[in-house]
Homo-oligomer: A and B are copies of this chain.
Amino acid sequence: MDTETAEKPDLAKSKRDRILEAAATVFCQDGYTGASIDAVATKAGVSRQTIYNHVGDKDGLFKEVVAALTDKSAAKFLVLLEEFPDKPEHLETELTAFSTRFLTHMTQDKTSRWLLRLAENESGRYPELFTVWRQYGSGRKRSMVAAQLSQLALNGYLEFDDAALAARQYMALLTAEWRAEFQLGRFPSEEECAGMAERAVKTFLRAFGRR
């Protein structure tokens, strides 16, 4: 109360979690070089030494953060994917509903946004980071989406030659407006996500829907 830290020590969580969470924020905000261990320490409400005890050095901290975020994000996406429509009654409606949840997750979920930012920003410094992210993160997601789209095609809802390409284009359309407009600090509300998803799905179905 008397200290000036308006941060969120957020007790109840383990020190380790608090460190990783704070580190994710700081890394994403300031980049690898700009991030200071001290900033992480104060944000986590922890002494600097404790961080060194847990993760060794700055590199270790960074890698732990990426690993943790990757796992978390993958788990969440798996849950999300279960709602992908199999044999929809109204394809457009149901695909839009799924897309809305997907986009909301990508844009609002801290984990996903952090990971995306880290992968895009620090890929120069950590080439393997981009590779891993592409393989386990976006790549894995895309191939899962491709599988779902294939099923829809098999069931006669869609028409395309290349499922992987369709999945890529689906995701590009879904994030088109977000990338152009929001990207920076602010991020879209759920209503805005719904609008973007609706417009993306409409175009996607114009291209790939059964004629």
Chain A residues proximal to chain B, CB less than 8 Å: 29-34, 120-121, 123-124, 127, 130, 134, 138-139, 142, 165, 168-169, 171-173, 175-177, 179-181, 183-185, 199-200, 203-204, 206-208
Residues A184 and B124 in contact, CB atoms below 8 Å apart = yes
Residues of B within 8 A of A168 (CB): 176-177, 180
Q: Can you spell out 22 A-B residue pairs with CB atoms less than 8 angstroms apart? A: A30-B124, A31-B31, A31-B33, A31-B34, A33-B34, A120-B121, A124-B184, A124-B185, A127-B184, A127-B185, A130-B183, A134-B181, A139-B180, A169-B199, A169-B200, A169-B203, A171-B176, A172-B176, A203-B207, A204-B207, A206-B206, A206-B208
Q: Given the complex of chains A and B, what is the CA–CA distance between A187 and B191 in angstroms?
A: 36
**A177-B174 Cα distance, complex, nearest whole Å:** 14
Q: Other than the known A124-B185, A169-B199, what 13 A-B pairs have Cβ atoms closer than 8 Å? A: A31-B31, A31-B34, A32-B34, A120-B120, A120-B121, A121-B121, A127-B184, A165-B177, A169-B173, A169-B176, A171-B180, A172-B176, A203-B208
A185 to B126, CA, bound (A): 11
A172:B183 contact, CB within 8 angstroms: no
Q: Which residue of B lies closest to A203 (CB)?
A: B207
Is there an interface contact between B121 and A31, defined as CB atoms closer than 8 Å? yes
When chains A and B are docked, how far (Å) is the Cα of A146 from the Cα of B151? 35
Query: Which residues does chain B contribute within 8 Å of A127, judged by CB atoms?
Result: 184-185
A111 to B130, CA, bound (A): 23
* A171 CB, min distance to chain B CBs, angstroms: 7
